[in-house]
Amino acid sequence: MELYELTVHELHEKLVSGETTAREVLDAYYRRIEAVEDRVHAYISLMKETAYAQAEEADRSIREGRIGPLTGVPIALKDICCTRGFPTTCASRILENFRPPYDATVVARLRAAGAVFTGKTNMDEFAMGSSTETSYFGVTRNPWDLERIPGGSSGGSAAAVAADECAAAIGSDTGGSIRQPAALCGVVGMKPTYGRVSRFGLVAFASSLDQIGPFTKDVRDCAILMNVIAGHDPRESTSVPVEIPDYRAFLDRSVEGWKIGIPREYFMEGIDPEVRAAVEGAARALEGSGAKLIEVSLPHTKYCVAVYYIIAPAEASSNLARYDGVRYGFRAEDPRDLLEMYKKTRSAGFGAEVKRRIIIGTYVLSSGYYEAYYKKASQVRALIREDFDRVFALCDVILTPTTPTAAFRLGEKLDDPIQMYLSDIFTISANLAGIPGISVPCGFTGEGLPVGVQFLAPHFEEGRLIQIGSALSTLMPREVRRPRL
């Protein structure tokens, strides 16, 4: 097996034992990137110079016995996380040349844990999309079928892990942007509880929904990454000061006796039959291990998409007002006056999907419409959260499909925003409620496309997700398949 095919924990063991070096591991990954990146386009930019400096430091640390949980392990970063002195573009022209003067807290924690940063991954512009087709820097392709989308908005991170272009990656999830691409690319992706992982240095899309989380090759790696990135951050006002368990302690535990909620609203018409069969197979496997499946209801689910596409664009229109050509980023040339500079900068700097959401958000916040739209959506959001509170009084976790279909073809939904938005129909609710969710691979379609099953848990119960994801991985050992790149 090649070094780049190994998981985080397998790589770390080889590094600590002296079987290989961080330099050799990084060489293997960059050779892999050189071999497949022109077809996948998972990255916007590579960080070779700093990566090799980090690898040398990792090797020195190992020799001296200073070993962190990720020492020498190559990690990719979604290009929405600020990296000191290195471009952070959000896949947008308007930030094409922006170099932050500081690291995001997540980046700093990974750096302190010894991680080696391979590069910044592609994404939908400002995380607004479900297919990684809205990037100013071009589309990312699904490693399992290069004519299909990898999901979004963190499609570059998911594709990089699936294509073995990094050992793990960081993404952000506002309405499913970690879990959906994880499912479509056949990897593990977790959205932690809102407030569990600091958003300091995450370029904001919708501030009450955004959350940072990991993409990994297996659930054990997810636990390792969560141990590093979770925790209170006094610089971030929504970061919650609650105890962080050792997530590795939840691995390899039985779920016998657990009650698993199956929400009837998530198993509706329109789900691809092969996706449904794979997800139901996962449910049966857990039932066979001693868990009990119970039907539950989340009655306000039908409002989730509408509520999300009021709240998220409203917050986006406010957050993106700062990109005006004055302080940083792209500025239009030769404007006649200040107003024209604003107009030309924002017209040329933002892509079509970002403009669409700014317009929607500005409208629902405008005088005379705020009460009818944003306030009403916020009230329904509270009802959605109450649905989950009631259901979690009856069960330990909830099981749903992550996506209604496997990966669709590039361009298939690009001109139909409504159909694109509906691809996140099973993931949006967790962001509205602020609860944690994980997508774990559970099979393949007849065309060889990955399928993911989603588990949801109460606030700050990521450990339950690690436990049931680990149990499922034991009950349904993954077929040894790799993308044919």
Compute CA distances 286 → 275, 403, 442, whole Å.
Answer: 17, 20, 12
Look up 191 and say whether it is catalytic.
no
Structure tokens at 83: 């990296």
Residue partners of 165: CB distance under 8 A and separation at least 6: 4, 29, 32, 33, 36, 37, 40, 42, 43, 76, 118, 159
CA 22 to chain centroid, in Å, comes to 26
Known catalytic membership, residue 153? yes
Q: Which of 92, 130, 154, 177 is catalytic?
A: 177
Choosing from 78, 120, 191, 217, the catalytic residue is: 78
- Output DSSP code: residue 90: T
At 173, the amino acid letter reads: D
DSSP structure class, residue 300: G
**Measured CA distances, 30 to 23, 59, 391 (Å):** 11, 17, 46
Q: Where are the alpha helices (DSSP H) in 320-427?
A: 338-349, 352-365, 376-392, 417-422
Residues near 304 by Cβ (< 8 Å), separated by ≥ 6? 384, 425, 428, 429, 432
Helix (H) / strand (E) element for 293: namely strand 292-296
In this structure, the number of other CB atoms found within 10 A of the CB of residue 380 comes to 17
Let me know the angle formed at the C-alpha of 108 by 107 and 110, rounded to the nearest 5 degrees: 65
Residue labelled with tokens 């149990």: 471
Distance, in Å, from the CA atom of 392 to the CA atom of 445, rounded to the nearest integer, reads 31
User: 438 φ, ψ to 5°?
Assistant: -140, 145
Alpha helix (H) residue ranges in 152-218: 155-162, 179-185
Residue identified by tokens 């073995």 is: 164
Estimate the crossing angle of helix 352-365 against helix 304-319, to 10 degrees. Answer: 100
Task: Report the candidate in 327, 224, 271, 303 with the shortest Cα–Cα distance to residue 12.
Answer: 224
Q: Which amino acid, 230?
A: A
Catalytic-role residue among 92, 153, 198, 473:
153
Q: CA 434, 316, 362 angle in degrees (round to 5)? A: 125
The set of catalytic residues is 78, 153, 177
